Structure 1
Amino acid sequence: MTGYDRPGGGEPLVLGVPRAAFRPSPVFLALVALFVTSAVLTWHRVGNVRLDVFLFVVSGWLVSLCLHEYAHAVVAFRAGDQSVAHRGYLTLNPLKYSHPLLSIVLPVVVVLLGGIGLPGGAVWVDRHRIPGRLRHTLVSLAGPATNVLFTLVLILALRLTGSAPLEFLAALALLAFLQLTASALNLLPVPGLDGGNMIQPWLNPQWRRMYDLFAPYGFILLFALLWNPRIAGWFFGAVFAVGDALGLPAPLYALGLDLIRFWSS
């Protein structure tokens, strides 16, 4: 079935899927509410401003993770994989993800300890239901494209709120930097990550078999690459250069990283 149907007078369907599968979950709405509330608290310096910044950055980062994975899922759904709707991925509920530990807990820990926007592997897409290599690439591209858009929106917001309290600006700058690092990391051509999955459909069968062999260890490969001082230096040097070109002040997001560690004050 295509379009909007109401078989037997029941709930309307969208492409054969109940409309409820597209409604934002209470978990996601609660994250958005926390993000907005903590932003207001940070702006007005209510209570412990370091705790306000912590809540602002972490909730904003989690909202971006939800939208990143939603982008993958909605493009996959439009490309032919309706299973993503039945798994609850289109409700933006992070608790529906395949690996909540890798997708939520680990990225937040890395943000707090290292100030890096670590990508998370979350939604499972049945690629056998998606015809055409270009569609597969677009499904993988959708997530990083969301991070790039977030980066640009946050930098614009930073420029438009230049007279805001310093703590608020630092939190915005840190969120923008996290989105920038997430964009860069996700676009690396590492097996199992979005950048690698974008090129996987275009590989010849021999290289594709090798790719599929290493794909489950994408996170390990990523950490191994970043553990190398020379590779890490090149990568973060490029990220810092892009941040500078976009007008993202390094001292400001460094202050934001210091502020979110409220327990060390």
Structure 2
Amino acid sequence: MDRLFSILLSALAVIIGIVVHESAHALAAYVLGDSTARSRGRISLNPLAHIDPFGTVLLPLLMVLAGGPVFAYAKPVPVYLGNLKNPKRDEVLVALAGPLSNILVAFVAALVYGVLLSVVLVPGLSAGALSLGFANGVASFLVTLMSVNLSLAFFNLIPLPPLDGSSILVLFLKGEALRTYYEIQRYSMPILIIVLYLLPSITGIDLIGWYFDFTVYPLMNALLSLAYGLI
């Protein structure tokens, strides 16, 4: 039962993270001159506007069952570079808006977590205003929300097509090199599978784990320290 509860919390956190992430892409594109995503209802916190049946639901489930790293994706946000005010620069800004929005969600979750702990620890208050069981459930969800959003943010910042971090390459590529970059994006799924599954199983080298050791986990500890500091 605890395992199922944990999976449900993680699934809800992933959906929230993906919805905010994709909406941030769409909003950034709109602010920078391209209204395509907005016209298609993608600046929305409604999950139905973003969920891809395979990438958001089936793929993560299969990865959980396989016991490996888990990632998910939503329907691509349509962005027409020609509509942007400064296409090469703004493509990077639109891409970075997604991961930055996830970091913001994690920060807000940490603040709420700290406030919740303060309320629960006030003598006599939690029993009357907030049941301990409910408080524990919310606290677990907030910690999961922090972890999931930080993982989404830094995973997407990896400079590998089609992840958001690869957009930084656009600033340094032109001509044939830029066309090759966009061509590589067509083979993104095999590349991710090789990096996430085949490489660790064959070489024993977990590049994603090492990367998270220097990004996700230190920032997660910092956010928890911030939350505890509010008590």
Return closer, same or farther for 1:78/1:196 CA change in 2, 3 Å cut-off. Answer: same
1:178 CA drift (Å) = 1.5
- Superimposed CA distance per residue, residues 38-69 of structure 1 (whole angstroms, 9 cap, x where no aligned partner): xxxxxxxxxx7765554443223212211110
Matched, 1:134 2:104: no
1:88 CA drift (Å) = 1.4
Match of 1:234 among 192, 202, 207: 207
Q: Is the 8 A contact 1:94 1:104 kept in 2?
A: no
The worse-fitting range, judged by mean Cα deviation, of 103-112 and 126-135 is: 103-112
1:248 CA drift (Å) = 3.6
**Cα separation, 1, equivalents of 2:211 and 2:51:** 32
Aligned to 1:222: 192
Aligned to 2:167: 197
**Cα separation, 2, equivalents of 1:245 and 1:235:** 15
Aligned to 2:125: none
Q: Is the 8 A contact 1:68 1:144 kept in 2?
A: yes
Aligned to 2:34: 81
Return closer, same or farther for 1:140/1:246 CA change in 2, 3 Å cut-off. Answer: closer
| TM-score of the aligned structures, taking structure 1 as reference length | 0.63
- Structure 1 residue identity aligned to 2:44: T
Aligned to 1:175: 145
Matched, 1:245 2:215: no
**Cα separation, 1, equivalents of 2:217 and 2:189:** 28
Higher relative contact order (CA 8 A, sep 6+): 2
Aligned residues: 202
Summarize the alignment of residues 59-138 of structure 1 with structure 2, pairs less than 5 Å apart: 59-97=12-50, 99-107=52-60, 110=63, 114=68, 116-120=70-74, 122-132=76-86, 133-138=88-93
Return closer, same or farther for 1:144/1:168 CA change in 2, 3 Å cut-off. Answer: same
1:81 CA drift (Å) = 1.2
**Cα separation, 2, equivalents of 1:156 and 1:109:** 33
1:172 CA drift (Å) = 2.7
Aligned to 1:253: none
Q: Is the 8 A contact 1:119 1:185 kept in 2?
A: no
Q: CA RMSD in A?
A: 3.1
Return closer, same or farther for 1:66/1:108 CA change in 2, 3 Å cut-off. Answer: farther
Secondary structure of the 1:190 match is coil
1:206 CA drift (Å) = 2.1
Query: Structure 2, unaligned stretches of length 5 or more?
Result: 121-131, 223-231
Over the matched positions of the two proteins, sequence identity in percent amounts to 26
- Superimposed CA distance per residue, residues 67-86 of structure 1 (whole angstroms, 9 cap, x where no aligned partner): 11000001111111112122
Q: Is the 8 A contact 1:119 1:182 kept in 2?
A: no
Q: Is the 8 A contact 1:138 1:198 kept in 2?
A: no
Query: Structure 1, unaligned stretches of length 5 or more?
Result: 1-47, 250-265
1:233 CA drift (Å) = 2.3
Secondary structure of the 1:65 match is helix
The worse-fitting range, judged by mean Cα deviation, of 234-243 and 211-220 is: 234-243
Return closer, same or farther for 1:173/1:120 CA change in 2, 3 Å cut-off. Answer: same
The worse-fitting range, judged by mean Cα deviation, of 152-161 and 62-71 is: 152-161
**Cα separation, 1, equivalents of 2:181 and 2:69:** 29
